[in-house]
Structures are given as structure tokens and as C-alpha cells.
Chains A and B, each alone.
Chain A
């Protein structure tokens, strides 16, 4: 494992991430948004809450690609890549879950009922359960990794498990919540919260997609820092 110079040491995409995030914050708060009942100004959460899930999905994809690369080459470097991208993706998933819970408690909660009653209705929502299952599967990935002592066995088992975990993402966050009745937007086969007819206008897209890229690049940046740290540690231990 050598410290060859690659994209991790380039700065252009890090600058892009910073610029896009600054744009997200400024245009996200000040830009025009459609006036919808219940949502009102909280529709701006699209630039933050939804972006967390997009970034999570992209980072999990990068993670599983690196797991496959490990299984093809048995180069431990790719195992480190897969692990660190998965960890950052989990962090984004947790942030998406928490922000969703905050958002839901102000838009889904029935103002005529006590808060506890509304909570039980919200907690039963299939989108939340699906997201919770997906995150728990990935928590198990980390626990599985750390419970195996042998380096090569650890890498091999966790690479295979990562592929299964990625496969379970699709029914739990993409398919099941769309079939079952849910308060979350995106039932009856429509696109969750990105439908131009009902949910957002084209003006919001000009902020949303740059925001997705910005948040994802920030996640990649953090992941590459963790990768570089792990590679250094490996190098020191083997030296």
C-alpha cells in the first residue's frame, strides 16, 4: 500500500464542493419556492434533508463498487475504501433520518392530538421503517467487520456482506415504501418529492441538483480523509 498521488490529493473538486454548498445555503434560503399548504417554508428542507439521502445512496454505491474491486483483486486498499465510504454514507443516512424526523413532526403531526399520539402514527410510517432497516443492516456491516480478527478474512467477509447490504437497500428504501400507504411524498409510483406537477417547480431544481453534488462531494472529501488516515496507519503498522 503506497501513498500514490491521486484524486484524493487534488483540490479542484474540494473547491467545487465548498462553492456549491455556499450556493446551496444562500439560494436555498433566499430563492423563490412554491407556496404549498402544510409545507410552507419547510419545502426548503428539500435542499438539505433529501440531499442527505442522495449523498448516502451515492456513497453506498461507491462503497459496494470498491468491495467488488477488492474481491476481484484482493488488494486490501479497496477494502479500506469500501469501509470508509460506507461509514460516511451511514453518517449521512443518520443525518437524513434525524432531519426527516424533525420535518415530519412539524408537517405530519396532527395538531388536534397530543404529540405522543402523532408520534406513534409517524413512527409506523413504512418509509421510516424501511430507512431504519437499511441503516441497521449497515450498522451490522461495521460490527461484522470489527468482530473478525484476521485481516484477509475480515476484508473478504465484509466485502461479500457489503454486496448483500447494498442489495437490501433497494427493497427497503426504494420499493416497499412506494407500495405501502405513507405520509411521505412518493406514493402510487410517483417520484418522491421530485414531481414537478405536485411538489417542486423547475426553479427549485436549479438549487436542488447543485446541492446534491455539493453534499456528495463533501461526503467524498471526508471519506478520502479517512481513507488516507487508514492507509497511513496501515503503512506504519507494516513498517
Chain B
């Protein structure tokens, strides 16, 4: 009977020990993982794929062209308004 007896407390402690071991191993692995990520990032060209930079930066050209268009149209629109006011005054 004696040999089959197991201390419940000891059992818990042993299991905890195994868990700690796994966690410790993971912690050792983490810097290695980070290092590998870092080298991976350095080997590739810098790519920040937000909207204005994607597709060979063509969106920047669109933005510039739209700004010029908006400026010209605003100018014509203001001329239109001014003329309307003058016409109203002369009538």
C-alpha cells in the first residue's frame, strides 16, 4: 500500500516545475525569433504599403493633378461669382 501512496502536494509541485521549464525555453527562444525577424526585414527592400506609397507612388501624381485642377476650378468659380455680382449691380 505504501508504494502506491503519492503525496498530492508533491505531485502539484512537480507539474509546476514542468510548466516553468517550458516557459523558460520559450523565453530563450524569443530573442532568437526577434533576431531572425530583424534580419528578414533588413534583407527585403523597405516597403511601407500605405495608400500614397503603393503602386509606384502614382497616387502622389493623382493628388498633385487633383490639387491643380481644384485650384483652377476654384479660380474659375470665383470669377463666375464676381461676374454674377457685377451683373446684378448693373441691372
Residues on A facing B (Cβ under 8 Å): 3, 9, 14, 18, 21-22, 25-26, 29-30, 218, 221-222, 225, 228-229, 232, 235-236
Contact = CB atoms under 8 A, between A and B. Distances in A.
A229 B83 CA distance: 7
Contact of B62 (A21, A25, A225, A228): A25
B46 to A, nearest CB: 24
Interface stretch (B5-13, B14-22, B35-43, B72-80): B72-80
A235 B69 contact: no
15 contacts: A3-B91, A9-B84, A14-B77, A18-B73, A21-B73, A25-B62, A25-B69, A26-B66, A29-B58, A29-B65, A30-B62, A218-B73, A229-B83, A232-B87, A236-B90
Given A221-B76, A225-B79, A225-B80, A26 B62 contact: yes
Q: Which of B58, B59, B87 gathers most chain A CB within 10 Å?
A: B87
A228 B76 contact: no
Interface in B37-66: 55, 58-59, 61-62, 65-66
Interface in B16-30: none
A228 B87 CA distance: 8
A232 B83 CA distance: 9
Interface of B: 55, 58-59, 61-62, 65-66, 69, 73, 76-77, 79-80, 83-84, 86-87, 90-91
Nearest to A221: B76
Nearest to A239: B90
A225 B76 CA distance: 8
Contacts of B83: 225, 228-229, 232
A30 B66 CA distance: 13
Contacts of B90: 3, 232, 235-236
Given A3-B91, A218-B73, 7 more contacts: A14-B80, A21-B69, A25-B66, A30-B58, A30-B62, A232-B86, A232-B87
Contacts of B84: 9
Contacts of B62: 25-26, 29-30
Contacts of A22: 66, 69
A157 to B, nearest CB: 29
Contacts of B73: 18, 21, 218
B80 to A, nearest CB: 6
A128 to B, nearest CB: 26
A194 B73 CA distance: 28
A21 B59 CA distance: 16
Contacts of B80: 14, 221, 225
A228 B91 CA distance: 13
A25 B87 contact: no
Nearest to A3: B87
